[in-house]
Chain A
Amino acid sequence: MGARADLQARERAAVADVVASTLRHDLRNKLASVRNASFYLMRKMQKTDVWSTDARVEAFFQLIDRELAAAEEVLTRRAPVASSDKPLCHASEAMEQGLREARVPEQVRVERDFKARGTVPLDLEDLALLVRCLVDNAVEAMPRGGMLTVRTWDVEEGEGGVGIRVEDAGEGLAAEAYSRAFEPFYSTRPGHAGLGLNIVQRLVLRNGGKVALDGGPSGGTHVEVLFLHRPEAGARMRLAGHDEIRGSK
């Protein structure tokens, strides 16, 4: 599979993951309401004569509880992790791949500042997908063109890590949009699915990183992603496209 086809496949998988997760969340809400309502009614019924005269009442409440637990189990069941190896890649390499795959028009100038030498705990293709989502968002924020700034750097504090930042020079977002931007299917632009930042957030959180969206003092928005190293004794890690190494960094 070529790099572009692989990225498209990962994008489709990421979108499917968002949709499935949203459905699981909504179903869990409904099941929780049914469970709470059932528990409330059971408490009330226990105080009535029917509870002791008709054994089926208690049996039916138990049945509801069992079935809800079974439905929860189905929702919680996830595909097994294929490998215990942990992927690693170089942020700057993923930035370049993400930029290549993104739709950057001519009127958008790209300023690169790639200083990171450390690694990020994601496959190269996953990090490239993350970058592409951020770059697509930034480009869409500048319909008349402007400066797109992409940076990577090594975090020196604590155990260290790698930082990634994508910044646009657009008009910025309304206050409400900052608090909702990571929600699935939320978009301020008509015709957009509103999945990009949610995909970014899921990739980051699943791999122990942090992500923040903010506006600059002179307009525009930036997204900053931090992957901080956490000591993991004896962890076996795989550097994507490179030889296997051992260690936490």
Chain B
Amino acid sequence: METSWTFGRCLLLVEDDPSNRMTLAALLEEAGFAVVTAGSYAEAEKWLNHPRPIDAVLLDQSLGDGFGTGLIPLVRHHMPGAKVVFVTGADSAIDMPVDAVFRKGDHFEALLAFLFKLLPQRPLGMSSSAPGPRRP
């Protein structure tokens, strides 16, 4: 399922639910992304304080040991170019400075479409045939 627009892109997935983390990471990797995962607020905080280049952070809100919103300033500070997608299972999304909000339970293709819109297009030759997310 790898597509050229995802190739070479790295995502940080912050999600404390092990099943969600495993399945979402598998789908993102299958789509062609490199995926780094953090299973708690503390783990994500440690990662963000020693950042590597990443294109987007997928951020869950309830992390057991903290709120995902608390990590947004760290992302903005250490990775000003990274997009932040809030992945929430809550009833209503809190008004917050993120680039997109994805509701858990929505189809994975919708998340891919968000990422396709958010991530800057690369010059021709690096991603010449970016087709966007496939339809199921």
Contacts and interface: CB of A to CB of B under 8 A. Distances in A.
Interface string A27-61: 01111110111011011000000000000000000
A176 interface: yes
B65 to A, nearest CB: 7
Nearest to A208: B95
Given A36-B108, A179-B41, A205-B94, A30 B67 contact: no
B129 interface: no
Interface string A1-42: 000000000000000000001001110111111011101101
Nearest to A210: B95
A103 interface: no
Contact of A24 (B1, B22, B67, B91): B91
Given A33-B23, A205-B94, A25 B62 contact: yes
Interface residues of A, number: 28
B70 A29 contact: no
A183 B108 contact: no
A40 B30 contact: yes
B46 interface: no
B89 A28 contact: yes
A29 B20 contact: yes
A61 to B, nearest CB: 10
A227 interface: no
A33 B25 CA distance: 11
A179 B23 contact: no
B27 A39 contact: yes
Given A25-B89, A32-B104, A179-B66, A40 B17 contact: no
A31 B105 CA distance: 6
Given A29-B17, A40-B30, A180 B65 contact: yes
A96 interface: no
Contacts of A140: none
Contact of A29 (B22, B65, B89): B89
B83 to A, nearest CB: 21
Interface residues of B, number: 27
A180 B67 contact: yes
B104 A29 contact: yes
B24 interface: yes
Contacts of B95: 205
Contacts of A75: 105
Interface string B72-101: 000000000000000001111011000000
A208 to B, nearest CB: 8
Interface in A149-202: 176, 179-180, 182-183
Contacts of B27: 36, 39-40
B107 interface: yes
A77 to B, nearest CB: 11
A33 B94 contact: no
A30 B8 CA distance: 30
Nearest to B134: A43
B5 to A, nearest CB: 18
Interface of B: 1, 17, 19-20, 22-24, 26-27, 30, 41, 62, 65-67, 70, 89-92, 94-95, 104-105, 107-108, 136
13 contacts: A21-B90, A24-B91, A25-B90, A28-B89, A28-B104, A29-B17, A35-B107, A36-B24, A39-B108, A42-B136, A176-B65, A179-B66, A179-B70
